Structure 1
Amino acid sequence: MNIEQARFNMIEQQIRPWNVLDLDVLSLLGVARREDFVPAVHKALAFSDTEIPLADGGRDGQIMLAPRLEARLLQEARVQRHERVLEIGTGSGYMAALLGHRAQSVLTLERVPALARQAAESLRAAGVTNVTVREADGARGAAGDAPFDVIVLSGSVARVPADLIDQLKPGGRLLAVVGDLPMMVAQRITRLPNGGLHTEPLFDTVAPRLVGFSDSPRFQF
């Protein structure tokens, strides 16, 4: 496989057509080595338009998101160089690496010990020094390190917990895929200067549920 041709095709055939048009994001995707964060057994899928299983064969939603979804969330987060970022659901560590290239610092939370260790090793090998991987349940965020300029949920939730929204700075943005199958919506929630919230639906998509987050209540008869 020609790695650079495959990377180029991923950007031009999957990511750019999905309304990822920020030139800085596209440039970053051209140099960030996604293949270095993919499990060895799935290296051939590194640039495919698909989710890649991580620990336990992807059981319980442990996957690497499809490239176009990672890229679109990165674009919509609008991360600036002076900002502090919290990511929920480290997974492979690749999204944390992308965020690290754009932010001042990133704290990323992963509840699966093996994934947290592997992500930290991959980030070190990639020379990403401003990302901290913490083994923790991300459903409550990291209140002791708050507030954050940006919070990114790398997976879906039935609803965004108030505990996470409370950890945003004024002007801060939270990116999450919200809802239930068969269709979910990526949202950007912004904390306004007066303390209020503005929620923007961005695009329809689906993503595996983040482990540890409550599902929507079901009707019982």
Structure 2
Amino acid sequence: MMAPSEYSAARLNMVDGQIRPNKVTDQRVVDAFLAVPRDQFVPDTLRGVAYVDKSIPVAKNRFLLEPMVLARLLNEAKVEPTDIVLDVGTGTGYSAAIIGRLAATVLALESDAGLAAQANHAMQTLGVDNAAVVQGPLSAGWAKQGPYNVIVVQGAVAAVPPALLEQLAEGGRLVTVVLPESGQGVARLYQKTGGAVSGRVLFDASAALLPGLEAKPDFQF
């Protein structure tokens, strides 16, 4: 087990080595990654590698996004202090705790009951008081608290579910990694303007597909 000072040093190294050099220019995003202890959101056996530049497994087929990918997505989403944010596939809640330092309110959506419980516990332990965890299918979003200024998807999708795009407020932004069945994954930004949604590629990125957001199989006779 590492000492608290060692975790703090590892967190600083993560920010200086993975985030600052990778086009993350919003100082509020940098400060959020400096402030939130990623080691508190991973299994005990993996705390020693919590700050490596890789996705961290937190349950079967579930991972925390690579820090650089999450940081760049948040940098491009341009989260404002007054924004209401939907965090889709929050896992153990690390991303929601980060976003909570950028936004007014975070609704953290998780489909796995065990992960949702872990997210609640971790955020209560750290005193994150502007984020709430709810459980439900990720592809459905959480319309009852929408619309949202920002939606962040914590993993890859084969295609963005229409329900999520519908829950964007006017001027709202959605960021995610899109992973087609064949080809390179890319981070994309979607924005709603005049009621219509447009999207553009941000950068190459890889991430695990989230449950319920995989490609739908073609119907076979």
State TM-score, norm by structure 2. Answer: 0.92
> Could you list the per-position Cα deviations for residues 165-188 of structure 1 after superposition, in whole angstroms to 9, with x for gaps in the alignment?
011111000111112255111111
Give the unaligned 5+ runs of structure 1.
none
Q: Cα RMSD over matched residues?
A: 1.8
Render the CA deviation track for 1:56-82: whole Å, top value 9, x for unaligned: xxx2x3111111112111211111111
Instruction: Name the residue aligned to 2:191.
Output: 190
Percent of aligned pairs sharing the same letter: 40
SS at match of 2:200: strand
Q: Which amino acid aligns with 2:128?
A: V
Unaligned ranges ≥5, structure 2: none
CA contact 2:178–2:186 (8 Å) conserved in 1: yes
Whole-angstrom distance in 2 between the partners of 1:69 and 1:142: 24
Give the aligned residue type for 1:133: V
Partner of 2:202: 202
Q: 2: distance between equivalents of 1:183 and 1:191?
A: 25
Amino acid at match of 2:190: I
Aligned to 1:125: 125
Matches within 5 A, 1:1-221: 1=2, 2-55=6-59, 59=60, 61-180=61-180, 182-192=183-193, 194-215=194-215, 217=217
Distance 1:204 1:42 in 2: 27
> Which digits, 9 at most, give the CA deviation of each residue in 1:13-72, with x for residues without a partner?
1112221122221122112111111211100111111111112xxx2x311111111211
1:190 Cα deviation from its structure 2 partner:
0.5
Q: Distance in 2 between matches of 1:202 and 1:216?
A: 25
Alignment check: 8 A CA contact 1:85 1:148 kept: yes
SS for the counterpart of 2:51 is coil
Q: Distance in 1 between matches of 2:183 and 2:163?
A: 26
Deviation at 1:115, TM superposition (A): 0.4
Give the counterpart letter for 1:175 in structure 2. V
CA distance in 1 between counterparts of 2:21 and 2:88 reads 27
For 1:32 and 1:169, locate their aligned partners in 2 and report how far apart those are by CA, in whole Å: 28
TM-score, normalising length from structure 1? 0.92
Question: How far off its partner does 1:219 sit?
Answer: 10
Residue 134 of structure 1 aligns to a residue in which SS? strand
Aligned length in residues: 216
**What residue identity is the alignment partner of 1:196?**
A
- Asked if structure 2 preserves the Cα contact closer than 8 Å seen for 1:188 and 1:202, the reply is yes
